[in-house]
Amino acid sequence: MTVVRGVALSAAFAGIALAVVHLRAEQTRCAARMVAVDADWVRLRRDFWGLQTRIARLRAPERIHDRVAAFQTGLVPPGFDQVSKRTERLASNKP
């Protein structure tokens, strides 16, 4: 009977050892996936800020004026009347 108990105990320990190795390997895989997701998150945030910067540059008033002039569409850029009135007013105030 002691041989059967010894074999059963050895099989139990082997099963527990295999379970621990499997869980540790799964934990390592999950940690690697978390690092990869975090790296992707950082890259996406950097790309997002770069796109926001490009949009801000394109929305700058001087860039809008330059693009409208370059396309030669005959459109009046936004704020064109206010700029010309300010220039005329400043020019009329000069001695």
- Tell whether 88 is covered by a domain: no
In this structure, what token pair is assigned to residue 27?
A: 């934990």
- Tell whether 66 is covered by a domain: yes
Provide, rounded to the nearest whole percent, the portion of the chain with pLDDT above 70: 78
- Tell whether 41 is covered by a domain: yes
pTM above 0.95, yes or no: no
- Tell whether 11 is covered by a domain: yes
Rounded CA gap, 33 and 29, in Å? 6
Which of these ranges, 14-18, 21-25, 43-47, 52-56, has the smallest mean pLDDT?
52-56
Helix locations, the chain, DSSP H:
2-59, 61-71, 80-93
Q: How crowded is residue 68: how many other Cβ atoms within 10 Å of its Cβ?
A: 16
Provide the number of structural domains found in the chain: 1
Rounded CA gap, 77 and 67, in Å? 9
pLDDT of 68 reads 75
- Tell whether 94 is covered by a domain: no
Domain range enclosing 57: 2-83
Angle 65-66-67 from CA coordinates, rounded to 5°: 95
